[in-house]
Structure 1
């Protein structure tokens, strides 16, 4: 399906609070590729902006906290998806992949919390 048509369909669905599901791995792969390209294009200037903005350890903290909060919220959402998948008896492959994602997401939030603590510790040590 052409990007323009898919975008219009996605926009219309989002307006009603719906999300589209993609029935083939070809459609999923195309969407995943599109997401990656969009993210990498948007992040092209991140290193330059971060270098200018993050002049010390404490300046890094707000961004890391924001990311941790968003990831934690998403992981908790995915825990609900996992519970629903289990309760509905979805295929074990789906449940196993969701378990992996949830576990990894929690590990990521722990690492991000450690990074936030490190910014505060570095700030305190630098005094």
Structure 2
């Protein structure tokens, strides 16, 4: 029953915008492990669905655009967190780690944008040819 109660408390807190904190390395490691298991639990199903669904480069585009939007939104959020850690003079290692994450996040957003661009070159060329035929 305790697990159900904890899940209910976590769900209610999340709806209110509250986040739970973890104060021990064991708690943090357990959460990180749970996140990884959740992410990879259905990896085989995702691969099978993606193989069936993404039969053209253009079919890949919406999913990559969605991921880029979420990554960019999260990176901008983390920029705010970084600004707050600097303003409060929180530990230097935390600030350095956040700087790294923000930098890598921006790099990931750029890579995803390049990937989106790579989904449409055939269509872009055919539009140019069609315009030149007019």
Q: What TM-score do the two structures reach when normalised by structure 1? A: 0.91
Gaps in structure 2 of 5+ consecutive residues: 128-134
Task: Give the C-alpha shift of residue 29 in structure 1.
Answer: 0.5
Which 4+ residue blocks in structure 1 deviate beyond 6 angstroms? none
Task: Give the C-alpha shift of residue 12 in structure 1.
Answer: 2.4
Structure 1 Cα separation of the partners of residues 5 and 126 of structure 2: 54
Q: Matched residue pairs, number? A: 126
Task: Give the C-alpha shift of residue 17 in structure 1.
Answer: 1.6
Structure 1 Cα separation of the partners of residues 6 and 96 of structure 2: 29
Question: Which structure has the higher relative contact order (CA within 8 Å, separation 6+)?
Answer: 1
Q: Pairwise CA RMSD of aligned residues?
A: 1.8
Gaps in structure 1 of 5+ consecutive residues: none
Structure 2 Cα separation of the partners of residues 94 and 5 of structure 1: 32
Q: Which range moved further: 93-102 or 117-126? A: 117-126
Over 3 Å counting, the alpha-carbon distance change for 1:75 and 1:125 in structure 2 is: same
